[in-house]
């Protein structure tokens, strides 16, 4: 019991509160960390908790919340579960454990993500028991706190994080069938887009098609800001060579990008994209979409100047 040494408890409470701002999650995290490092121990002889105030203060001064949680993950979670956390953190606050398994395959070494096999789902039980993950449904898990997701990302070396996300997106794109990919389209394409410069030459056209597909789906859902980003990524993947090698897709990426920009109120980008299409030596039919967008923009602005 701590009731008979309230002054000492008050000192501990004040120290922890100062570092955690009273956030319940952070308080529990620090107390767990103190116990695991034996800075906070229960003595069954005296039937009391014991701690060293100076050691606790030193720890709280030298380590912030994120550092403590990352250290806890590294020390108390198995290596395979850490690797699962890295992949899951890239997928969002909620994720499908089967998608994590699909990405990692038979190897849980995230430095060499595998294209075959599946991951033992025992990591789910471990992470649920540790209070790091919660179950939304049979097919969906979520991080118990947003800081856990952020710290799981921190398990990936910062200088490898972008390439890791891009590689993860590429593997999922190859391994998912069309229906499953459609269910996770935004997450997978966004991951692959993390480093478009690293996309090999023979994958740039298929990847541009995926961005066009994602952009159209986002626009259908009314998410035009997101759609605009996907169309832009598609244009960048094709480059100027797209006008010659993939003219239809390039025109669509520019035209739909102009429409998304118009809806978002980004008229400068809209005008730039429309002008590039209208300046090309292509058929009138290919330019109709841009003419339509331009007319709607002029009408909206009550500006009928040519």
| 51 membership: H or E segment, kind and range | strand 48-51
pLDDT at 229: 97
Quickly count: other Cβ atoms within 10 Å of residue 123's Cβ: 24
Longest distance between any two alpha carbons in the chain, whole Å: 90
pLDDT band per the 50, 70, 90 thresholds, residue 114:
very low
Asked whether the predicted pLDDT for residue 115 surpasses 60, the reply is no
Instruction: Please report which residue ranges of 63-121 form alpha helices under DSSP H.
Output: 65-76, 79-91, 97-104
Mean per-residue pLDDT, 85-91: 94
**What is the full DSSP assignment across 163-179?**
HHHHHHHHHHHHHS-HH
pLDDT band per the 50, 70, 90 thresholds, residue 55:
confident
Asked whether the predicted pLDDT for residue 304 surpasses 60, the reply is no
Quickly count: other Cβ atoms within 10 Å of residue 218's Cβ: 22
Mean per-residue pLDDT, 84-97: 93
pLDDT at 117: 37
pLDDT at 87: 95
pLDDT tens, 148-177? 899 899 999 999 999 999 999 999 999 999
Q: Which pTM was predicted? A: 0.75
Better pLDDT: 60 or 29: 29
Whether 170 and 203 have beta carbons less than 8 Å apart is answered as yes
Per-residue burial over 5-16, b if 16 or more Cβ lie within 10 Å, else e, is: eeeeeeebeebb
Mean per-residue pLDDT, 288-297: 94
Among 37-41, 59-63, 89-93, the minimum mean pLDDT is found in 59-63
Strand partners, 50: 41
Asked whether the predicted pLDDT for residue 25 surpasses 90, the reply is no
Cα–Cα dist 30/56, whole Å: 10
Asked whether the predicted pLDDT for residue 282 surpasses 50, the reply is yes
Return mean pLDDT, the chain: 85
pLDDT band per the 50, 70, 90 thresholds, residue 108:
very low
pLDDT band per the 50, 70, 90 thresholds, residue 5:
low
pLDDT band per the 50, 70, 90 thresholds, residue 294:
very high
pLDDT at 113: 46
Asked whether the predicted pLDDT for residue 109 surpasses 60, the reply is no
């Amino acid at each position: 019991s701590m009731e008979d040494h309230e002054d000492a408890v008050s000192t501990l409470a004040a120290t922890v509160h100062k570092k955690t701002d009273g956030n319940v999650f952070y308080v529990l995290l620090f107390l767990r960390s103190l116990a695991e490092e034996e800075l906070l121990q229960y003595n069954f002889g005296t039937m009391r908790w014991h701690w060293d105030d100076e050691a606790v203060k030193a720890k709280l001064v030298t380590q912030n919340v994120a550092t403590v949680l990352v250290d806890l993950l590294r020390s108390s979670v198995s290596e395979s579960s850490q690797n699962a956390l890295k992949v899951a953190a890239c997928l969002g606050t909620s994720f499908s454990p089967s998608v994590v398994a699909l990405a990692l395959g038979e190897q849980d070494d995230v430095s060499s993500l595998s294209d075959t096999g599946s991951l033992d789902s025992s990591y789910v039980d471990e992470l649920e028991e540790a209070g790091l993950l919660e179950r939304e449904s049979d097919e969906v898990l979520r991080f118990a706190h947003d800081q856990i997701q952020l710290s799981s990302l921190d398990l990936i070396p910062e200088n490898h994080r972008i390439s890791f996300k891009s590689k993860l997106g590429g593997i999922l794109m190859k391994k998912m069938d069309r229906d499953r990919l459609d269910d996770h389209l935004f997450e997978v394409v966004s991951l692959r887009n993390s480093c478009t410069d690293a996309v090999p030459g023979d994958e740039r056209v298929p990847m541009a098609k995926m961005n066009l597909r994602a952009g159209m789906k986002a626009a259908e859902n009314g998410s035009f800001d997101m759609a605009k980003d996907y169309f832009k990524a598609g244009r960048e993947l094709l480059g100027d060579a797209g006008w010659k090698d993939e003219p239809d897709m390039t025109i669509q990426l520019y035209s739909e990008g102009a429409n998304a920009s118009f809806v978002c109120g980004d008229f400068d980008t809209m005008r730039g994209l429309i002008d590039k299409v209208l300046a090309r030596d292509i058929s009138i039919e290919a330019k109709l979409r841009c003419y339509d967008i331009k007319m709607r923009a002029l009408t909206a602005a009550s500006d009928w100047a040519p």
